[in-house]
């Protein structure tokens, strides 16, 4: 039976149980990959917070956590993908095994910028873990090492993802009823 959802939402794509199960699996993958090391999770505010905290509980090697915030906007010609750091990390990452944790990778422009920026700070290793991946809209090719779910070309909310700052607290992921095709968040 499908779960009842708030009026603005169309349908649930991933239930709380499916998300919990998948995060356990990805956490186990990361545990194996980082055996004998400490992994530093870097979350991108605010969307990745829900995912990062759940993921961290399922990683069984020592974990450190730091956050950064970005703002993205269009350039003068309306092209998307101009990104800057609005809040930087609290600590340096030189020599660290860094795992960048994202909520969703769409065009890949944000990820490309973040990887370039973080790589310039000389971490020992740098990998990417995303909760959702929408490969169909990729513009910038960027490596994704761990992903929980591939999603269709629909705007989604919940489990950290927002529409106008709403819906982040949903325990599931759902598609919006009305596609915000001109949303500055996604198609600037
Ligand atoms: P991109 O990969 O640079 O295009 O940007 C990804 C960012 O756009 C994400 O970190 C989100 O903040 C936002 N975004 C993309 N798709 C969605 C969506 O379906 N729901 C909510 N936010 C989204
Ligand atoms: Mg994001």
What is the tens place of the pLDDT at every residue in 59-68? 999 999 999 9
Of 96, 97, 106, 133, which is the active-site residue? 106
Query: Which atom of ligand 1 lies at the shortest distance from residue 156's CA?
Result: 19
For the cut 80, the answer to whether the pLDDT of residue 87 exceeds it is yes
Probe target for ligand 1 pocket from 129, 186, 187, with the most ligand atoms within 8 Å of CB:
186
Residue 36 CA to ligand 2 center (angstroms) comes to 30
For residues 32 and 36, give the distance between their C-alpha atoms in angstroms, rounded to a whole number: 9
Catalytic annotation present for 106: yes
Residue 29 CA to ligand 2 center (angstroms) comes to 22
Residue 37 CA to ligand 1 center (angstroms) comes to 31
What are the structure tokens assigned to 100, written together?
């960048």
Probe target for ligand 1 pocket from 150, 185, 187, 188, with the most ligand atoms within 8 Å of CB:
185
* Backbone torsion region of residue 120, taken as left when φ is above 0, otherwise alpha when ψ lies between -120 and 50, otherwise beta: alpha
0.95 surpassed by pTM: no
Beta carbons within 8 Å of 111's beta carbon, 6+ residues apart: 100, 102, 105, 128, 140, 142, 144
pLDDT digits (tens, 9 = 90+) for 5-61: 888 999 999 999 999 999 999 999 999 999 999 999 999 999 999 999 999 999 999
Beta carbons within 8 Å of 86's beta carbon, 6+ residues apart: 69, 70, 71
Average pLDDT of the residues of the chain: 92
For the cut 70, the answer to whether the pLDDT of residue 185 exceeds it is no
Distance of CA 143 to the CA centre of its chain: 13
Query: Which atom of ligand 1 lies at the shortest distance from residue 44's CA?
Result: 10
Q: Using an 8 Å Cβ cutoff, are 172 and 160 in contact?
A: no
């Amino acid at each position: 039976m499908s779960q009842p959802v708030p009026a603005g939402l169309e349908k649930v794509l991933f239930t709380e149980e499916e998300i919990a199960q998948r995060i356990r699996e990805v956490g186990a993958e990361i545990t194996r990959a980082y055996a004998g090391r400490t992994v530093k999770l870097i979350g991108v505010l605010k969307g990745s917070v829900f995912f990062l905290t759940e993921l961290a509980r399922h990683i069984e090697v020592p974990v450190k956590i730091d956050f950064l915030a970005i703002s993205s906007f269009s350039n003068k010609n309306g092209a998307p993908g101009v990104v800057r750091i609005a809040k930087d990390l609290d600590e340096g990452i030189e020599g660290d095994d860094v795992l960048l944790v994202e909520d969703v990778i769409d065009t890949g422009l944000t990820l490309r910028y973040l990887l370039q920026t973080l790589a310039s700070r000389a971490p020992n290793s740098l990998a990417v873990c995303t909760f959702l991946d929408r490969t169909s809209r990729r513009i910038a090719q960027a490596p994704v090492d761990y992903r929980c779910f591939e999603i269709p070309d629909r705007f989604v909310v919940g489990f950290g993802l927002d529409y106008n700052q709403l819906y982040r607290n949903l325990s599931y992921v759902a598609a919006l009823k009305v596609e915000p095709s001109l949303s500055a968040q996604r198609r600037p």
